[in-house]
A = this chain, B = another copy of it.
Amino acid sequence: HTGQWSKKAIAEARKYGTPQVVATSEDKTFSYIPEIKTESFDPQADYVHITTNNTIYGTRIGPDRLPDTGNVPLVADMSSNILSEPYDVGKFGIIYAGAQKNIGPAGVTVVIVRKDLVGKTPDSVPTMLNYKTFADAGSMYNTPPCFAIYMAKLVFEWIKEQGGVAAVAEKNRRKSAILYNYLDDSKLFKATVAPEDRSLMNVPFVLPTDDLNASFIAEAKKEGLVTLKGHRTVGGMRASIYNAMPEEGVTKLVDFMARFEKDNG
């Protein structure tokens, strides 16, 4: 349980079963990824659910830190970091991701399901929430959201043109490093997430006081640097640097932060 998305996944699972929280970072406002031990999983569990990137809290379970769940299918909400770096799809039972971060416009969801997991849903599950409905009909059981799918196609092509997800990951590591390096060196700004758990997509940071946070957000806006306000549940700032954000955007932000630090430090 690493944030808002897992909270919702737990609440939803409770409607149909008896979810167990085997690890959580709720004690420190989800600012780290808790250790996930294989022995903590019930080997009879239907699935183990993780969120690979926590949008609000800026944490990430990277491709090399996936839990070993044995024979229990690993299910991942990858909404906020799919296509940001390569994950071994074979390690997952289900990957699902809303399109609106790295794929395309809001209104379409990508689901990758291991074939043997399709069709195990009880009859009480609504037709439109049964993956079998979509698997059997080539994702065209009903009129699909054509425009969103078309846009997703264009984004997939754009990713391929750059050299695929591996090349995009390289850019994302470079982009986020610019920001994290600055934050770690700064005497005024502070990154809120433990270094080993940091997201490549969402970089939360804080200033020493709420007044300075508010002043930074207002000044940044004048420079055209917007939507930097942290989620209301955590405060501070958050820079979302999804695939679509160019390195220049990050550099511009860091340059401004340096000026702000000079003026307010």
Interface set of A (CB-CB < 8 Å, partner B): 8, 11-12, 15-16, 98, 100, 105-108, 123-129, 142-148
Chain A at the B interface: SS class: loop
Partner of A105, one of B129, B142, B147: B147
Contacts of A143 in B (CB 8 A): 98, 100, 106
Q: Which residue of B lies closest to A79 (CB)?
A: B143
User: Do the beta carbons of A147 and B107 come within 8 Å of each other?
Assistant: yes
Q: A148 to nearest B CB, angstroms?
A: 6
- What are the residues of chain B within 8 A of A8 when measuring CB–CB? 127
A110 vs chain B, min Cβ distance (A):
14
Q: For the complex formed by this chain, how many copies does it contain in all?
A: 2
Which of B16, B98, B108, B126 is close to A15, meaning CB atoms less than 8 Å apart? Answer: B126
7 interchain residue pairs of minimum CB distance: A107-B145, A106-B143, A107-B107, A105-B147, A100-B143, A106-B145, A106-B146
Neighbouring B residues of A147 by C-beta, 8 Å = 105-107, 147-148
Is A12's CB under 8 angstroms from B127's CB? Answer: yes
Whole-angstrom distance between the Cβ of A82 and the nearest chain B Cβ:
15
Q: How far is A125 from B126 in the complex, measured between Cα atoms in Å?
A: 9
Distance (Å) between the CB of A188 and the closest chain B CB? 33
The residue in chain B whose Cβ has the minimal distance to the Cβ of A144 is B106
Pick 10 A–B contacts, CB within 8 A, sort by A. Answer: A12-B126, A15-B125, A98-B142, A98-B143, A105-B147, A106-B146, A107-B108, A107-B145, A107-B147, A148-B148
- In the docked arrangement, what's the CA distance between A175 and B105, Å? 35
Are the CB atoms of A107 and B12 closer together than 8 Å?
no
Contact of A129 among B98, B129, B146 (CB under 8 A): B129
Beyond A124-B124, A126-B126, A143-B100, whether A148 also contacts B107 by CB under 8 A is yes
Q: Which residues of B contact A100 (CB under 8 A)?
A: 143
A101's nearest neighbour on chain B, judged by CB, is B143
In the complex, the chain B residue whose C-beta lies closest to that of A107 is B145
CA distance A115 to B30 in the complex (A): 37
Closest chain B residue, CB of each to CB of A122: B15
